[in-house]
């Protein structure tokens, strides 16, 4: 007989907020943080985790340490449509939880995760236009469908930018923070100075900001503007979806802004005096890509930087098959 296992407890990361580490089948990320929020009138979640058997078990076991099951939760808020955040929302809904998401993000989610994959056909053609080899593109397509299978069918309740969400008696305000996705939203608990930052502000890595045929015109411009807006919030605790909670929001925002300045310079240098495809530039900027997901993120991120430069008169796209890019001036 071994010693009994000590009881699991969830780390308290802010007043009344516990962190649940939900595993991900994505090597670069490993974990998504789901936050369990305790209010005077009940419990809520921020984000839900991807829907693998392992992730569902991790979430159920974590809730059980507080003597909770899915059906005891009043409400959940999902920051954006990615599978690591939205994945288990439908399972929560089936248990009676009201799951909220920023209204236009729900429309995007219905489009991206529809099982007819119309979005994917557009992305496939778009990536080939930007120089992605067809075999890499096919791998990207298969990986996308496999990811989509880890998102439950969902209904979701729409909330607007600026609305107040009641998390069991605690108020949190929804703020639109576009860039990582078009209608990503964070939650701000103004009373306690807590920012549930989703994937908008992360402590160690920078959020992937990608240009796709279905996104807003200038996702990187959106993202940098949204970072400058959240920088001034009266927040003393940041609870990100990946990595450790941290306190210095303005300091981290400044680092991310500086990172993108350097990346924009690197993109200009990689294009140089030539006409190059976005894929060729991406391969220079991201020499090590370990999966179809990473190939996709690298190309979409490079395109977001090129579009940002294009909209500010510093680069131009030359039509063709494939399309190429050149620096202006």
Question: 3-class SS at 19?
Answer: strand
For the record, the structure tokens of 282 come out as 């991406």
CA 39 to chain centroid: 26
Task: Tell me how far, at minimum, the Cβ of 198 lies from Zn ion, in Å.
Answer: 7
Task: Tell me how far, at minimum, the Cβ of 122 lies from Zn ion, in Å.
Answer: 20
Question: 3-class SS at 276?
Answer: strand
Question: 3-class SS at 87?
Answer: coil
Nearer to Zn ion, 147 or 241 (CB): 241
For the record, the structure tokens of 124 come out as 């496939």
For the record, the structure tokens of 3 come out as 């010693």
Is 296 one of the binding residues for Zn ion (CB under 5 A)? no
Nearer to Zn ion, 74 or 82 (CB): 82
Q: CA-to-CA distance for 234 and 188, rounded, in angstroms?
A: 9
Question: 3-class SS at 266?
Answer: helix
- Compute the residue count for the chain: 329
Contacts to Zn ion from residues 210-249, by CB under 5 A = 241
Task: Tell me how far, at minimum, the Cβ of 304 lies from Zn ion, in Å.
Answer: 14
**What secondary structure letter does DSSP report for 199?**
T
Nearer to Zn ion, 90 or 131 (CB): 90
Contacts to Zn ion from residues 66-85, by CB under 5 A = 82, 84
Contacts to Zn ion from residues 168-207, by CB under 5 A = 199
Nearer to Zn ion, 82 or 324 (CB): 82
In contact, 38 and 216? CB cutoff 8 Å: no
Task: Tell me how far, at minimum, the Cβ of 327 lies from Zn ion, in Å.
Answer: 30
- Nearest partner of 71 among 43, 112, 40, judged by Cα: 43
Nearer to Zn ion, 233 or 241 (CB): 241
Nearer to Zn ion, 104 or 193 (CB): 104
For the record, the structure tokens of 113 come out as 């995760």
Q: CA-to-CA distance for 278 and 261, rounded, in angstroms?
A: 18
Nearer to Zn ion, 241 or 270 (CB): 241
In contact, 291 and 27? CB cutoff 8 Å: yes
Site string for Zn ion, 34-73 (x = CB under 5 A): ----------------------------------------
CA 290 to chain centroid: 20
Task: Tell me how far, at minimum, the Cβ of 80 lies from Zn ion, in Å.
Answer: 6
Task: Tell me how far, at minimum, the Cβ of 4 lies from Zn ion, in Å.
Answer: 35
Task: Tell me how far, at minimum, the Cβ of 147 lies from Zn ion, in Å.
Answer: 11
Tell me which residues touch Zn ion (CB under 5 A). 82, 84, 199, 241
């Amino acid at each position: 007989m071994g010693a009994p296992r000590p009881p699991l407890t969830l780390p308290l990361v802010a007043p009344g907020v516990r962190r649940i580490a939900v595993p991900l089948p994505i090597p670069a990320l490993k974990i998504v943080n789901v936050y369990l929020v305790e209010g005077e009138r009940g419990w809520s979640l921020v984000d839900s985790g991807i829907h693998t058997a392992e992730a569902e078990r991790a979430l159920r076991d974590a809730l059980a340490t507080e003597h909770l099951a899915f059906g005891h939760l009043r409400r959940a808020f999902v920051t954006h449509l990615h599978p690591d955040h939205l994945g288990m929302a439908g399972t929560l809904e089936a248990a009676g939880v009201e799951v909220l998401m920023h209204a236009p993000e729900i429309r995007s989610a219905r489009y991206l995760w529809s099982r007819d994959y119309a979005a994917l056909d557009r992305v496939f053609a778009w990536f080939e236009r930007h120089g992605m080899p067809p075999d890499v593109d096919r791998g990207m397509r298969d990986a996308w469908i496999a990811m989509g299978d880890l998102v439950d069918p969902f209904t979701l309740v729409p909330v607007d930018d600026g609305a107040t969400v009641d998390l069991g008696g605690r108020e949190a305000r929804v703020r639109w923070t576009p860039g990582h996705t078009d209608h990503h939203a964070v939650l701000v608990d103004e009373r306690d100075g807590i920012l549930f930052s989703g994937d908008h502000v992360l402590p160690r890595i920078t959020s992937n900001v990608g240009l796709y045929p279905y996104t807003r015109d200038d996702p990187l411009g959106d993202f940098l503007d949204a970072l400058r807006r959240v920088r001034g919030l009266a927040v003393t605790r940041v609870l990100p979806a990946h990595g450790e909670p941290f306190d210095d929001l303005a300091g981290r925002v400044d680092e991310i802004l500086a990172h993108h300045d350097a990346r924009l310079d690197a993109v200009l240098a990689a294009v140089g005096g030539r006409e190059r495809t976005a894929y060729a530039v991406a391969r220079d900027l991201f020499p090590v890509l370990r999966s179809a997901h990473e190939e996709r993120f690298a190309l979409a991120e490079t395109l977001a930087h090129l579009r940002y430069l294009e909209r500010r008169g510093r680069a131009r796209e030359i039509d063709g098959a494939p399309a190429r890019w050149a620096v202006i001036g």
